[in-house]
């Protein structure tokens, strides 16, 4: 046989072999009854800060779709009944179905979407993604949903005892320095409890003390919102009246005191009030304007635009109606933003 013809035929044969192999490689024969992954064990999900370094293990069984493919398993959670819309992807693993995560890592993930220091009912699932080696496609199989109660812990906190309502202040850095807005009744002196260390703090001659007496109020103080700062290392505390109000021609009292007081929502991190904003005479002209100030005083007041509030800013103009007003301010109170939702 001609040498060149032999080489040509050999090349054709090799090309045909390669194409036939590639075709066989991408062929996935699906099982009529694929076996989806399942949960074997889910650990106790009462998360506690003192167990932060402990490891939680979620154990499952593998998927069997009737063909060989690389598999990545995902452990996911969502609010009960939410059908995994905006789900939390806790972890993924390409090795096996013994998925391990520390208490503190899991708590940090869930804390972004679910409330702290409360029990939340969450749905969990294992999602298996099978990828063909040729890169031509993938198949997804999910386990049945398992619902578990989960307790998520928040930042280190001090609970107010005997203040009349359940409230707390938190330590953002976990360094013994606590700060928060609390609604206080001057007829109800209170103490502070560290639930993690089981230590109660009170007053001793104006300083913080372990097992001290109930914390007294300043002589001229009134019932309402206060900013409470506590340092359990320096054993100090400071309590200041802190009542943010809405004032302006759009409010019931116009530009006169008292302002329409707002409430602090610790979960949203903002001041909230639902009220009617209606026009009134302002300098002989009907106007529907407002801004925010502190303790019925102009020493601190913010205005400007809804997305950028600044100290001493212009009045905010609004069309009449019933609104839910949310005020977000930074830590020093100099700037912030406002959300208006018409009801």
124 CB-contact burial (10 Å; exposed 0-12 / middle 13-18 / buried 19+): buried
Integer CA distances (angstroms), 13 to 16, 25, 222, in order: 5, 18, 94
pLDDT score at 200:
98
Q: For the residues 98-119, what does the mean pLDDT come to?
A: 89
Average pLDDT on 315-339 reads: 92
Would you say the CATH fold of 244-342 matches that of 38-152?
yes
Confidence at residue 231, expressed as pLDDT on a 0 to 100 scale = 98
Q: How far from 59 is each of 18, 52, 75, 96, 199, CA to CA, in Å?
A: 41, 20, 10, 9, 37
CATH of domain 38-152: 2.60.40.10
Q: Identify the residue whose tokens are 């700037």.
A: 335
Higher pLDDT, 26 or 258: 258
Alpha-carbon distance 324 to 268, whole Å? 14
CATH for the 244-342 domain, from 1.10.10, 2.60.120, 2.60.40, 1.20.1630 = 2.60.40
Q: State the pLDDT at residue 14.
A: 43
pLDDT (0 to 100) of residue 40: 94
Residue 6 has pLDDT above 90, yes or no: no
Q: How many residues does the chain have?
A: 343
Answer for the pair 56, 75: CB distance below 8 angstroms, yes or no: no
Average pLDDT over residues 28-44: 84
| Domain boundary assignment for the chain | 38-152, 157-241, 244-342
């Amino acid at each position: 046989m001609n040498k060149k013809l032999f080489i040509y035929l050999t090349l054709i044969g090799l090309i045909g072999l390669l194409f036939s192999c590639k075709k066989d490689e991408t062929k996935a024969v699906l099982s009529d009854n694929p076996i989806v992954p399942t949960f074997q064990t889910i650990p106790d999900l009462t998360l506690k800060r003192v167990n932060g370094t402990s490891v939680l293990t979620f154990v499952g069984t593998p998927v069997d779709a009737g063909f060989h493919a690389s598999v990545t398993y995902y452990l996911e959670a969502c609010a009960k009944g939410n059908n995994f819309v905006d789900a939390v992807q806790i972890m993924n693993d390409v090795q096996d179905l013994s998925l391990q995560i520390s208490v503190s890592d899991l708590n940090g993930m869930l804390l972004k979407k679910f409330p702290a220091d409360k029990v939340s009912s969450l749905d969990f699932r294992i999602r298996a993604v099978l990828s063909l080696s040729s890169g031509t496609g993938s198949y997804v199989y999910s386990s049945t949903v398992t619902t578990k109660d989960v307790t998520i812990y928040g930042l280190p906190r001090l609970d107010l005892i005997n203040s009349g309502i359940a409230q707390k202040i938190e330590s953002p850095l976990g360094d013994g320095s606590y700060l928060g807005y609390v609604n206080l009744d001057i007829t109800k002196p209170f103490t502070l409890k560290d639930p993690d260390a089981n230590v109660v703090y009170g007053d001793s001659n104006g300083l913080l003390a372990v097992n001290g007496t109930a914390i007294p109020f300043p002589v001229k103080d009134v019932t309402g919102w206060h900013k409470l700062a506590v340092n359990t290392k320096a054993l100090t505390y400071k309590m200041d009246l802190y009542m943010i109000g809405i004032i302006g021609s759009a409010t019931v009292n116009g530009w006169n005191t008292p302002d329409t007081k707002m409430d602090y929502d610790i979960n949203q991190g903002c001041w909230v009030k639902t009220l009617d904003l209606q026009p009134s005479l302002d300098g002989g002209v009907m106007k529907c304007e407002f801004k925010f100030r502190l303790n019925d005083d102009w020493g601190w007041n913010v205005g400007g635009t809804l997305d950028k509030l600044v100290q001493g800013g212009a009045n905010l103009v609004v069309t009449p109606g019933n609104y839910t007003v949310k005020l977000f301010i930074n830590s020093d109170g100099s700037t912030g933003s406002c959300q208006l939702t018409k009801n």
